[in-house]
Amino acid sequence: MTGRPAVLRGVAAGVLATLLAGCGVLPALPDAIPSDVVPSRPSGFSSPSADGELSPDGFDAVQRMAVRIRNVGCGSLSTGSGFAIDEHTLITNRHVVADSQSLEVSTYDGRDLAVSAASTARLADLAVVRTQDPLPSHPRIAEDDPEQGDEVSVVGYPEGGELTITAGSIVDSTTDPLNENLGEVLVTDAPVEPGSSGSAALDAEGRVIGVVYAKTSDGHSLLVPRSTLQEMLADSGAFTALPPCS
């Protein structure tokens, strides 16, 4: 008679133990609903910044740094191109500004900039023109000369017409066939025309790698390399004041 209660107690104990063990797998009560689940800033989202990469007027930086130069001579008129290297200085060719009575500089949007001074290099077909009015934009000069095959963009005013960007690549380097420059010059297949002289030649990142100064008979164009430009700019005696025409 003592065996039956013992069995019942064992079963009850087993059920109770099972129930208690089952409590461990019961679902917990839900947490309180947070009042706001919207993150303060979505991950991976970045606001645009006005750090100079944005155009203030819809024109590219390469267009904004180009200028058109009108050389009013003593009974002559010619046009060329140039580009800014700082807020009041632009680079062009010596032959673009030579024999001038006055130089007239205009920007991509047709504004006229007053010229304060001009000087030319003796050992390269380069000239520096200073403006009283600030230039809209200026590019960086590349740290190295380009290699053969590198992309080139030329920004200027061929035939004195509209601002034009042409593309090509560096095809060679050679000694100057015109004997206007000391050292080697670059050859590119980017199309240029008369009036493009003084145009900036830019690499794929928009940095200056040379200055257009001539066109060859086989349709290629010649560039004063940026190394020559920088050497001239670093030499205070490399440029002399431009004499007026007579």
For residue 98, state whether it binds another protein (rule: CB under 8 A). no
Q: Residues 123-162: x/- map of binding to another protein (CB under 8 A)?
A: ----------------------------------x--xxx
For residue 109, state whether it binds another protein (rule: CB under 8 A). yes
Q: At residue 239, what is the residue type?
A: F
Q: Is the dihedral of CA 146, 151, 156, 160 positive or negative?
A: positive
Which of 1, 6, 21, 26 is the binder for another protein (CB under 8 A)?
A: 26
Q: Residues 27-56: x/- map of binding to another protein (CB under 8 A)?
A: xxxx--x---x-------------------
As a three-state string, the secondary structure of 197-218 is CCCEEECCCCCEEEEEEEECCC
Identify which of residues 110 and 219 has a Cβ nearer to another protein in the complex: 110
Do residues 104 and 151 make contact, with C-beta atoms less than 8 angstroms apart?
A: no
Which of 66, 163, 208, 229 is the binder for another protein (CB under 8 A)?
A: 163
Spatial separation of the C-alpha atoms in residues 43 and 28, rounded to whole Å: 31
Which of 39, 48, 110, 237 is the binder for another protein (CB under 8 A)?
A: 110
Identify which of residues 68 and 138 has a Cβ nearer to another protein in the complex: 68
User: Which of 170, 171, 210, 167 lies closest to 191, judged by CA?
Assistant: 167
User: Which of 208, 240, 242 lies closest to 96, judged by CA?
Assistant: 242
Q: Which residues pair with 104 in a beta bridge?
A: 70
Closest separation in Å from C-beta 132 to another protein: 18
For residue 114, state whether it binds another protein (rule: CB under 8 A). no
Taking the CA atoms of residue 41, residue 45, residue 47 and residue 48 in that order, the dihedral angle to the nearest 10 degrees is 180
Which of 42, 58, 219, 237 is the binder for another protein (CB under 8 A)?
A: 58
Do residues 92 and 99 make contact, with C-beta atoms less than 8 angstroms apart?
A: no
Closest separation in Å from C-beta 167 to another protein: 18
Residues in touch with another protein (CB under 8 A): 8-9, 12, 15-16, 19-20, 22-23, 26-30, 33, 37, 57-59, 68, 70, 72, 75-77, 79, 104, 106-110, 157, 160-163
